[in-house]
Amino acid sequence: MAKPLEGLTAIVTGAGRGIGRAEALELARLGAHVVVNDYGQNDDAEDVTAEIRAAGGQAVAHLGDVADHEQARALVQLAIDTYGQLDILVNNAGILRDRMVFSMTEDEWDAVIRVHLKGHFNTIRFAAAHWRERAKAVGGPVYGRIVNTSSEAFLAGSAGQPNYAAAKGGIVGLTTSTALALAKYGVTANVICPRARTRMTEEIFAGFAEPADGALDALAPEHVAPLVGYLASPAAAKVNGQLLVVHGGMVAVVERPRVAAKFDTTEGVFGFEELDGLLTPYYASRPPNETFAAAEVLGLKHGVKQG
């Protein structure tokens, strides 16, 4: 029986450990050739590559910083040179530099924006050019899938992560823009908000005990990887520009923002007094401390009905 990703080539960034590793293994299990990217002085990418090959799959390691424009170009080119073309791009690489906004340094802000947001842009930039060139060459759509990684920190607001929440919000905007720009070439772009216990989040989830009975941890990255495999597959051809939360045996499709209220001036142009008369009573009737952030997403759990 043919595997859903048989013959396709995938890049997974930040795939040496955690969510990226689980994603790389899942894509390989589904039949894809995988370029395993990771950055740092370690053997993580080679270890994942060896694991894929030992299971009968095809994989090659790339040790590089996706936030560096030229290294991201080389990553995409490695996939093309090794396997003939690129079909799937999974952006996962990231770091944390948590601090309250009034204490955050410029370097802490820049580092997180660089790795997450610029890193996503860099790989998309070169993958998109590859798909556009292929589409022009064949005179029609080609196969392309992008799965980006945002976070509930963007959706719910995270007081101690202004850099991370901003970067992850930027990734959502990048994804929806990319989805519209590349649709005519046959490429889809979607974004996930995963929750998992990884090297990057070990302090955040330190208070959540792992199961002692050998059961799969509700925060295991293996809960995230199957959704990435699905979004990368032909079955998800009509899924584009979407945001999905995934963790612990649950997938939630997040609806786009809706206009809650609209006010029109009767004076031709708004003045302070008219705005005061309209907006002050409106917000006085709203729940206290309610903001644009959707904190309720943090309560999403497997088996618990929402709404």
140: helix, strand or coil: coil
What Cα–Cα distance (Å) separates residue 93 from each residue in 13, 96, 134, 301?
5, 11, 26, 25
Query: Which value, in Å, is the radius of gyration of the alpha carbons in the chain?
Result: 21
Q: How far apart are CA 174 and CA 154, in angstroms?
A: 14
For residue 150, the 8-state DSSP code is -
Structural element, H or E, at residue 237: none
Distance CA 79, CA 34 (A): 8
Q: What is the DSSP letter of 287?
A: P
Q: Could you give the residue numbers annotated as active site?
A: 151, 164, 168
Neighbouring residues of 245: CB distance < 8 A, sequence distance ≥ 6:
152, 155, 192, 193, 194, 195, 251, 252, 254, 297, 300
d(CA 226, CA 228) in angstroms, rounded, equals 5
Element (H, E) at 44: helix 44-54
186 torsion bin: left (phi>0), alpha (psi -120 to 50), beta (else): left
Euclidean distance between CA atoms 206 and 255, whole angstroms? 30
Tell me the sheet residues that pair with 148. Answer: 191
Q: What's phi and psi for 195, nearest 5 deg?
A: -125, 115
